[in-house]
Amino acid sequence: MGGEKERLLAEVSSARERFEREAGSVSLVAEIDALRIRYLGRKGLIADFFSRLAQLPPQDRPVVGKAINDLRAYVSAEIDRLRATAASQARAEVVFDPTLPGTRWERGRFHPLLQVLDEIVDIFTSMGFSVETGPEIETDYYNFEALNIPPNHPSRDLQDTFYLEGPHLLRTHTSPVQIRSMEKQRPPVRMIAPGRCFRKDTPDATHSPMFHQVEGLWVDKGVTFAHLKGVILAFAQKLFGKDVRIRFRPSFFPFTEPSAEYDFSCIMCKGAGCRICKNTGWLEISGAGMVDPAVFGFVDYDPEEYTGYAFGMGVERIAMLKYQIGDIRLFYDNDLRFLSQF
């Protein structure tokens, strides 16, 4: 007749076998939890074994205690393993659950400035202009000297230009690309140069120390101011619609003679006068003119043989007009609430 010690040892070992069977048939987290509570819980099987262990005579306790401890270690390791498996399966199920809302991927888009820049480039390339680029770090020669800008010209002032070491500076306009393009080839030259420019301006609603321009240049035999007007009109109408009119006002730039500033009729009020055009009916765009013969001298073009026109424009200004944006700084804040509107 076996004593309590043997009975307890037998129960411990059959509990282990039962646990093995039961563990083999659970998979849900809730089932695993129920199993854990039944074996390891405060009122569970193993707790019961321990309280019966306390009733045994002291000399029997080490052997039985070890058997119960082994059972407990085994059960809790198994429970941990089952839980880990269940958790990774649950994750896998979530990934493939077609009823869940799914991760939303925002669709990217081009920055509004780049969109406008692309549009400008498309219009000019469709009219036969090539696209040239030049360095943003320029030399005094290309940014000023070869453009016939004299040493005492205000745009050379320290207050306007970011000077770097030696002859280097951050280009203040895209006009130096004219010079670089003419140096590289003989006429005909028909190019635009989009790019970034820098000036020491304090940022406000219409100024930014970094901004974008597109430069244009056409040099060939017999190029006249009439060609310039034709191209600017075609550009204005492709960009803002057939109703747009243009006008040229006399102006001065060291690298063109004669020089002009050109305006578009206001795209908001169609010229009637509104807040955007300050009641003038016209929007100032930028400068243009016939390439000064002195500039041809720097690139070794014969001004008796060739003439050319040049023009510039500010990309931010055009984008602000096109999208009715009141503050240039919005372009550079990278606030998605702003950017996602375009």
Closest CB 253 distance from ligand DAH, rounded Å: 4
Which chain residues interact with ligand DAH by CB under 6 A?
A: 173, 175, 215, 253, 256, 286-289, 310-312
**How crowded is residue 17: how many other Cβ atoms within 10 Å of its Cβ?**
9
Which is nearer to ligand DAH, 161 or 256 (by Cβ)?
256
Burial grade of 315 (CB within 10 A; 0-12, 13-18, 19 or more):
buried
**Dist. CA 128–CA 218, nearest whole Å:** 10
Distance set, CA 328 to CA 66, 200, 219, 226, 324 (Å): 79, 15, 33, 33, 11
The minimum distance between CB 168 and ligand DAH, in angstroms, equals 19
- By beta-carbon proximity to ligand DAH, the closer residue of 4 and 257 is 257
Nearer to ligand DAH, 172 or 265 (CB): 172
Residue 117's CB: how many other CB atoms inside 10 A? 21
Between 24 and 154, CB nearer to ligand DAH: 154
- Nearer CB in complex with ligand DAH: 97/157: 157
Looking at the Cβ atoms of 71 and 223, the one nearer to ligand DAH is 223
**Least distance to ligand DAH from the beta carbon of 255, Å?**
6
Min dist CB 157 to ligand DAH, Å, is: 14
Long-range (24+ apart) CB contacts under 8 A made by 101-106 are: 106/340
CB of 228 to ligand DAH, least distance (A): 9
- Integer Cα distance of 92 and 96 in angstroms: 7
Please name the residue ranges forming H helices in the chain.
Answer: 4-24, 29-40, 45-53, 61-96, 112-126, 140-143, 176-184, 225-240, 293-299, 315-323, 330-333, 336-339
Query: C-beta of 94: minimal distance to ligand DAH in Å?
Result: 57
